[in-house]
Amino acid sequence: MGAREEKIARYIAENDKLGLGLSEEFIRKVTVGLGPSIHRKDSETVSCSQSSELETVKKNFARKKLGVTDDAAIDAAIQKVCEAMGSSNRNKFRALFYALLARELGKESVYA
């Protein structure tokens, strides 16, 4: 099993543990879309307590990748994803975070 496949298996297990309800196929597509960033400890996770990081998620993922322009909708979706993944959860994996955010914003078709 390659490094990416190991990451995907870990994300699927975390999805099941947290009861996020994401499909394995969707997790795989989002993970592949993230490229090498999943292999760096700092960029593999998202910190909901860092406003600068959430702003980057909003700008680079929600706006650029997903094409969402409604900042209020993005902010509400990000907050909902942070809550879904748990405030005490230190492993908010970017692949799962982005998959949940895409689902929350109705943009899963970007990965079709």
Per-residue HEC secondary structure of 33-83 comes to: HHHHHHHCHHHHECCCCCHHHHHHHHHHHHHHHCCCCCHHHHHHHHHHHHH
pLDDT recorded at residue 30: 97
Residues 6+ apart with CB under 8 A from 12: 24, 27
List per-residue pLDDT tens for the chain, 112 residues long: 799 999 999 999 999 999 999 999 999 999 999 999 999 988 999 999 999 999 999 999 999 999 999 999 999 999 999 999 998 888 899 999 999 999 999 999 999 8
**From the CB of residue 63, how many other CB atoms can be counted at a distance below 10 Å?**
15
Q: What is the pLDDT of residue 1?
A: 77
How many contiguous H segments (helices) and E segments (strands) does the chain have? Answer: 6, 0
Domain 3-111 belongs in CATH node 3.40.50.1820: no
User: How much is the pTM?
Assistant: 0.95
| Residue 41 pLDDT | 87
